[in-house]
């Protein structure tokens, strides 16, 4: 199994787990769990993009934002700005002890989930 295949498998599972928690009625435990699962999903998203770019395109990138920007340039991602925002959200999750920050991030997770699903489909189909 290649590095990319292993990452895709992990990313797929992370997406399932994020979707699972987002289908639960919201409370503070569900919210916090969803944010944690978003963190895992985003980390696997950028690492999958990194491996995809290296294996399929021969392009090396070393940071989440750099990889997402390159994926956009390569036509793999439709929206560069959303992925950069997700990286910023991920960096902001260290402040989820602040209720308003946690709620703000949580509200954006359904859209992020849809984009994760779209990304993994593109990677699998390529």
Can you read off the two tokens belonging to residue 7? 């990452």
Q: Which residue in 17, 31, 73, 90 is the catalytic one?
A: 90
Q: Which residue in 17, 31, 73, 95 is the catalytic one?
A: 95
Q: Give per-residue burial for 21-37: e unless 16+ CB within 10 Å, then b.
A: bbeeeeeeeebbbbbeb
- Is residue 95 annotated as part of the catalytic site, yes or no? yes
pLDDT at 25: 98
Can you read off the two tokens belonging to residue 18? 């994020």
pLDDT at 109: 98
Q: Dihedral sign, CA of 119, 86, 53, 75?
A: positive
- Residue 94 class from Cβ within 10 Å (0-12 exposed, 13-18 middle, 19+ buried)? exposed
* Residue numbers of the domain that contains 48: 3-125
When divided into structural domains, the chain yields a total of 1
pLDDT at 96: 78
How many CB atoms are closer than 10 A to CB 112? 23
Per-residue pLDDT band at 8 (split at 50, 70, 90): very high
CATH at residue 30? 1.20.120.330
- 79 pLDDT more than 90: no
Can you read off the two tokens belonging to residue 46? 């950028």
């Amino acid at each position: 199994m290649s590095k990319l295949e292993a990452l895709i498998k992990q990313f797929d599972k992370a997406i399932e787990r994020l979707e699972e928690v987002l289908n639960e009625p919201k409370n503070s435990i569900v919210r916090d769990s969803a944010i944690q699962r978003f963190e895992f999903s985003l980390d696997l998203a950028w690492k999958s993009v990194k491996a995809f770019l290296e294996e399929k395109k021969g392009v090396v990138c070393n940071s989440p934002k750099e990889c997402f920007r390159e994926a956009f340039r390569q036509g793999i991602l439709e929206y560069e700005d959303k992925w950069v925002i997700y990286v910023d959200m991920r960096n902001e999750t260290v402040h989820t002890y602040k209720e308003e920050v946690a709620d703000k991030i949580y509200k954006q997770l359904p859209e992020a989930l849809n984009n994760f699903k779209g990304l993994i489909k593109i990677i699998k189909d390529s």
